Amino acid sequence: MATIRPFKGIRPPKDLVEKVESRPYDVLSSEEARVEAGDNEMSLYHIIKPEIDFSPETSEYDPKVYEQAANNFKKFQDKGWLVQDEKPSYYIYAQTMNGKTQYGLVVGAFVDDYLNGTIKKHELTRKDKEEDRMKHVRVNDANIEPVFFAYPDNKVLDELINKYVKNHAPEYDFIAPIDGFGHQFWVISDANDIDVITKEFAKMPALYIADGHHRSAAAALVGAEKAKNNSNHKGDEEYNYFMAVCFQASQLTILDYNRVVKDLNGLTSAQFLEKLEQNFDVKKMGKEMYHPTGLHNFSLYLDGEWYSLTAKKGTYNDADPIGVLDVDISSRLILDEILGIKDLRTDKRIDFVGGIRGLNELKERVDRGEMKMALALYPVSMQQIMDIADSGKIMPPKATWFEPKLRSGLVIHKLSD
């Protein structure tokens, strides 16, 4: 069963939300954050990317940068740019992209559920990234940014969310700059509705991390750390929970996550295509952009031409949660076997492009000579992610790209009461 509880969110007043809210810390560089924040002293970037308050050569991992995050968090509260709710609440967070809206519930997720596997992951985490986020949580004594969970579709919760959407004006309602996606936010403080949500989650055998594995790990580990160091630990303290936005699995949109490679590992283009034919049906599509049409079909861009690659039977295993994945097929049979790229996390010859940028981004990077070839994949499904998480296996790196991304700064969870 999944254990959740409401919390007293720290949020911007309605008239300031568009001044405070921001993109998440890990989707932009320090320089991009510096530009986006501009002269807006209320921008959350001053808390989640506090290096922007220092000279550009200052490392984002400098101890004084973490200290600045805490100073700015206090400043935001002192000035009334962030205000804590009086009552523990759940929250509804709606995102609209290309006419499609998905509705999430913002909850306090249970640290022990992460540690015992009730909250399931599908990606490996890096210790250095975990430690960075742990430092940020520790110094602020808060989860400044939420993690992104999925849960099995639930009719009761769907009806409750629809009730709020139809009968209550949203607390926040704005279009985000840059991407133009819509964001709405409701507060659920009614005791009966809170009870319904808590009980429905308690019926769920698992929750699934969709995006934010490092934030999840950091939040849970800091919570466990606080419990260990508290001689009067009872188990009901606020640090036993961390902030998550939970969406029904069927509502989520996963885009393709594509690859661009700098060279052909000493092969000519003709030799590369010949080697591909051992495991793929290769068809030249010409100059017109070609999108993968389904599972096990890939799009290759090479020397100004597009190709369709269809994996031959026997090169994949549809009965295996990992073996069915196109990221596994392409990693094994193209990147590793032909191009000699063994570790997608560390090899400098490869880069990754989220599907939100479209195939044009792949074409442009190859056409300008930065990369030799590009490979576009058919998107992974949420069911595939859940199957892998249920099996206890781990997805290959750079397999999923969720859109829209959660905006940060709509609500914050403090670890002390």
Q: What's the mean pLDDT in 361-385?
A: 95
pLDDT of residue 170: 98
Provide CB contacts within 8 A for 63, sequence distance 6+: none
- Reported as a pLDDT band with limits 50, 70 and 90, residue 178 is confident
For residue 183, pLDDT beyond 90:
yes
Q: What angle do CA 10, 19, 79 make, to 5 degrees?
A: 55
Q: Which two tokens stand for residue 333?
A: 């049979």
- Exposed/middle/buried for residue 314 (C-beta within 10 Å: 0-12, 13-18, 19+): exposed
Number of Cβ within a 10 Å radius of residue 274:
12
**What does the pLDDT read at residue 253?**
87
Q: What distance in Å separates the CA atoms of residue 207 and residue 352, rounded to the nearest whole number?
A: 27
The Cα–Cα gap between 148 and 284 comes to: 39
DSSP 282: E
| Mean pLDDT, range 93-106, rounded to an integer | 96
DSSP string, 307-368: EEEEEPTTSS-TTSTTTT-HHHHHIIIIIITTT----TTT-TTEEEEEGGGHHHHHHHHHHT
pLDDT at 344 over 90: no
Write the single-letter amino acid at 344: L
Burial 343-354 (b: 16+ CB within 10 A, else e): ebeeeeebbebb
Mean pLDDT, all residues of the chain? 95
Structure-block tokens of residue 6: 């409401």
Please tell me the total number of residues recorded for the chain in this structure. 417
Phi and psi at residue 349, in whole multiples of 5°? -85, -10
Q: Which percentage of the chain shows pLDDT scores above 70?
A: 100
What is the band of 309 on the pLDDT scale with cuts at 50, 70, 90? very high
Spatial separation of the C-alpha atoms in residues 89 and 93, rounded to whole Å: 13
Hey, is 76 helix, strand or coil? helix
Phi/psi of residue 231, each to 5°? -65, -20
Q: Which two tokens stand for residue 180?
A: 């133009």
Q: How many CB atoms lie within 10 A of CB 390?
A: 14
What's the pLDDT at 355? Answer: 86
Place of tokens 């984002």: 60
Most confident of 212-216, 304-308, 320-324, 381-385: 304-308
Query: What's the pLDDT at 401?
Result: 86
Contacts of 121 (CB under 8 A, 6+ apart): 209, 213, 216, 389, 394
Report d(CA 396, CA 64) in Å as an integer: 35
3, two tokens: 């254990």
- Identity at 249, one-letter amino acid code: A
The residue ranges of DSSP E strands in 171-289, in sequence order, are 172-175, 182-188, 207-211, 241-248, 254-255, 257-261, 280-286
Is residue 150 within 8 A of residue 248, CB to CB? The reply is: yes
CA nearest to 223, candidates 134, 354, 347: 134
Please say if the pLDDT value at position 151 is more than 90. yes
- Output the pLDDT for position 124: 82
For the residues 118-122, what does the mean pLDDT come to?
94
**pLDDT at position 169:** 96
Position 417 pLDDT exceeds 80: no
pLDDT for residue 133:
94
Q: Which two tokens stand for residue 309?
A: 């690659």
Lowest mean pLDDT among 149-158, 355-364, 370-379: 355-364
Cβ-contact 308, 283 below 8 angstroms:
yes
99: left (phi over 0), alpha (psi -120 to 50) or beta: left
pLDDT in tens, 201-211: 999 999 999 98
Closest CA to 95 of 170, 196, 207, 204: 170
CA atoms of 246 and 219, how far apart (whole Å): 16
Could you give the maximum distance between any two Cα atoms of the chain, in Å? 69
Residue 123 reports pLDDT greater than 90? no
0.85 cut: is pTM over it?
yes
